[in-house]
Chain A
Amino acid sequence: MREGIVGIRRSRMPFMISVFSVAIALLVVGVGVLSVDNGLQYIGDMQANYDLEIFLKNDISTIDSRELADIINEYPGILRMEYLSKEDAAALYNAEFGEDVLSLLDDNPLPSSFRITFEEDYRSAGYIHSFIQSVNILNGVDEVIFKKDLFEKVQGIMKLIYTLATAGLFMIILSTVFLTANNLRLMILARYEFIETIRLLGASDFMIKSPFFLEGGILGFLGASIAVLAIILMEISLAYYHIIDLPVRIMNHPELILGLLVFGVSLSSLGVLKAVRRMLRFVA
Chain B
Amino acid sequence: MIQFKNVHLRFDSGISLRDLNFDIKSDEFVYLFGDSGSGKSSILKMIYMDFFPNSGSVSVFDQDSSYTNRGTIAKIRQRIGMVFQDFKLLADRDIYSNIALALEIQGMKTDEARRKVFATADDLGLRTKLPLYPHELSGGEQQRVALARALVISPDILLVDEPTAHLDETASAVVTEWIWKAHNRGASVVFATHNEQLIKRDPARTITMETGQIILDRE
The interface of chain A, by Cβ under 8 A from chain B, is 3, 10-11, 193-194, 196-205, 207, 284
Contacts and interface: CB of A to CB of B under 8 A. Distances in A.
B35 to A, nearest CB: 24
B1 interface: no
Interface residues of B, number: 26
A276 to B, nearest CB: 14
B70 A197 contact: no
Given A205-B70, A205-B71, A207-B105, A200 B92 contact: no
A226 to B, nearest CB: 26
A174 B79 CA distance: 45
Sorted nearest first, the 5 A-B pairs with minimum C-beta distance are A202-B78, A202-B77, A284-B50, A204-B74, A203-B105
Contact of A200 (B79, B82, B104): B82
A160 B45 CA distance: 62
Contact of A197 (B45, B48, B88, B106): B88
Interface of B: 45, 48-50, 70-71, 74-80, 82, 84, 88, 90-93, 101-102, 104-106, 149
A202 B91 contact: no
A194 B106 CA distance: 16
Given A10-B92, A193-B90, A193-B91, A201 B102 contact: yes
A193 B91 CA distance: 9
B92 A204 contact: no
Contacts, number: 53
Given A193-B90, A194-B90, A201 B50 contact: no
Given A11-B92, A197-B90, A202 B50 contact: no
A15 to B, nearest CB: 13
Given A193-B90, A193-B91, A198 B82 contact: no
Contacts of B77: 200-202
Contacts of B50: 200, 284
A10 B133 CA distance: 13
A200 B91 contact: no
Nearest to B103: A201
A92 B89 CA distance: 87
Contact of A202 (B90, B93, B106): B106
A200 B70 CA distance: 11
Nearest to B106: A202
A203 to B, nearest CB: 5
A3 B107 CA distance: 12
Given A198-B101, A198-B105, A284-B50, A203 B74 contact: yes
